[in-house]
Structure 1
Amino acid sequence: MPKEDIAPYLRNLALKREFERQGLDLDAVMEYTPLDLDLENRRLQNLLNFIDQYRKCGSQDIMETIANGYVFPPIFPLISPESDWYRFEQWMKGEIISKKLLDQLPEEISLRKPAEIDDDEIEKAIEQLIESLEKAGCGASLYDDIPARLVYTYLYEVLHETIEVFEPGGGFWFFDGCSGYCPGCFQRPWCEFGQSSCWNEDEEAGKMHLIEELSQYVCATPQSLAILQQLQAEQDAAFERFEAENPYPGMGLSQRDEEWRAKLN
């Protein structure tokens, strides 16, 4: 095997060993790209360079004074400058920077499994969960008319999710129940987009695909597939017109964006 074929792999190992040598938990702040080792290696090197600058300067203020502008910790996920800096400095101290939302609540709550709550208690239980989320700097907004037990189940699961911590007094997590994957969403029957998009799962089922948890509340008929296909075709045509009228080079954090961010540092 030519040396150039394994060079990125060897460099990748060397960079990761450097984080181990420094006692830093790389998994907590890195988004790996195993199918593009050159990109991953640039991310690792950018982070090592940033760590070196930070240790020499000792603080964000000094780094930005020397740079005569803002500098940005190249960690993942990118949330906001304030959040990224807080998590970076906590990470450098060896602190945990992501944990279950339940463990981030300012006070303990009496949390019961959905199956343990009677129907006449469910609304009150939802109010208590939302109140606890708000005290933790979080919010929730779901579609109207969703059965209360589905809402409670979702909030119960949210509290057991592991998320990044925010700096004290700053930041805000907002949960809307949408993952972007309509066939697996409990809100689909009440969501305009969910009711008008056609997925492979719908084609395979011959009707709108709904998760099992919805079976006691709603059901889909074979006629729903034809409606979904028509609405999806209309959406696709509208999007094609939009793209033609509004050409844009790309969306999200591109490789070029990352390099620009690194150069600012």
Structure 2
Amino acid sequence: MRHNHLLKKEFEHLGLDLAAVFHFTPLDLDLENRRLESLLDFVKRYQQYGSRESMEAVEGKFIYPPIYPGIDPWSDWYRFERWMRGESVREAIVNLFPIHKEFLSEEELDDDQIESETQRLIETIESTGNGVCLAEDIPARLIYRNLMEWINEPHELSGPYGGGWIYDGCSGYCPGCFQRPWCETGSSSCWPDDEEEGKIYYIDELKPYVSASPQLLAIISKLQAEEDASFEEWKNENETKKEAGPFLDHEGLRDHSNEDELPF
């Protein structure tokens, strides 16, 4: 515990906000200490060399900072160097918009405006290096409302050559999703929420657009049962293959290199 405290104090003395780039594991202090030591060592080497270019030139290899979350080498370096300068490593996407790009709240837009403003919002998001990928045919007002929430949430910054964030609106929890009626997975899977409701469960946000019925619950229950059966069949087949033995090594592959099909 004392060693952990001393390591964290080192970052305080350096004026670095550890929480911005570090994943704490209080239930495993040995792991946390190893990560702290690794990051502290990297920071001191970077300070010694003065730049990424010098650091890689002297050490003779490509290196990247052990920060969290690791996104891609370019973005990780970009965030690390901003962090070392005391700058933010997370930013709301709306703050990356050009100054002249302003958007009204969804409540201020009438039905004639919402379509064009939604498209303009998507194009502006894409101009920042980020993107939007949603199910088709979702009403524009729903898209606009949820995008406005998303762009105001902080996200890890990506470097000039790194990839941006893609908003797909999916948390993996279908009953709580605004896309559910238009999503193939969401509209064909049955959750405990649906069974408790006695019909497919939709959040209040969807009620102006769709309505659920007990008949629909029967349909998705059947689809879910078919999906579960298919998964069990796949699992059993793969368990059988697993028990048959490990994949061939390189020598084994070479023996079959002239055959049309490999034996697995």
* Alignment correspondent of 1:5: none
Gapped regions of structure 2 (runs ≥ 5): 243-264
RCO comparison, higher one (Cα < 8 Å, 6+): 1
* Alignment correspondent of 2:117: 125
The answer to whether the 8 Å contact 1:106/1:135 transfers is no
Instruction: Determine the C-alpha separation between the residues in 2 that align with 1:193 and 1:40.
Output: 38
The sequence identity of aligned pairs, in percent, is: 52
Deviation of 1:170 after TM superposition, in Å, equals 4.6
Instruction: Determine the C-alpha separation between the residues in 2 that align with 1:239 and 1:37.
Output: 38
* Alignment correspondent of 1:188: 180
Deviation of 1:136 after TM superposition, in Å, equals 1.2
Deviation of 1:110 after TM superposition, in Å, equals 2.2
Gapped regions of structure 1 (runs ≥ 5): 1-8, 248-265
Match of 2:212 among 208, 220, 223: 220
Give secondary structure in 2 for the equivalent of 1:163: strand
Give secondary structure in 1 for the equivalent of 2:230: helix
Give secondary structure in 1 for the equivalent of 2:86: coil
1:152 correspondence with 2:139: no
Q: Which amino acid aligns with 1:209?
A: Y
Change (3 A) 1:41 1:202: farther
Deviation of 1:218 after TM superposition, in Å, equals 0.7
Deviation of 1:115 after TM superposition, in Å, equals 1.0
1:106 correspondence with 2:98: yes
Superposed CA RMSD: 2.1
Change (3 A) 1:95 1:144: same
1:175 correspondence with 2:147: no
Deviation of 1:180 after TM superposition, in Å, equals 1.6
Larger-gyration structure (1/2): 2
**Equivalent residue pairs, number:** 239
Change (3 A) 1:205 1:39: farther
Deviation per CA, 1:47-92: give whole Å up to 9, x if none.
1121122222222233333443321211111111100011001111
Change (3 A) 1:65 1:200: farther
* Alignment correspondent of 1:58: 50
Change (3 A) 1:81 1:42: same
1:19-30 to 2 correspondences below 5 Å: 19-30=11-22
* Alignment correspondent of 1:89: 81
Instruction: Determine the C-alpha separation between the residues in 1 that align with 2:219 and 2:31.
Output: 43
The answer to whether the 8 Å contact 2:74/2:160 transfers is no
Q: TM-score, normalised by structure 2?
A: 0.82
Indicate the larger mover: 219-228 or 203-212. Answer: 219-228
The answer to whether the 8 Å contact 2:199/2:215 transfers is yes
1:238 correspondence with 2:212: no
Deviation of 1:96 after TM superposition, in Å, equals 0.8
Q: Which amino acid aligns with 1:111?
A: F
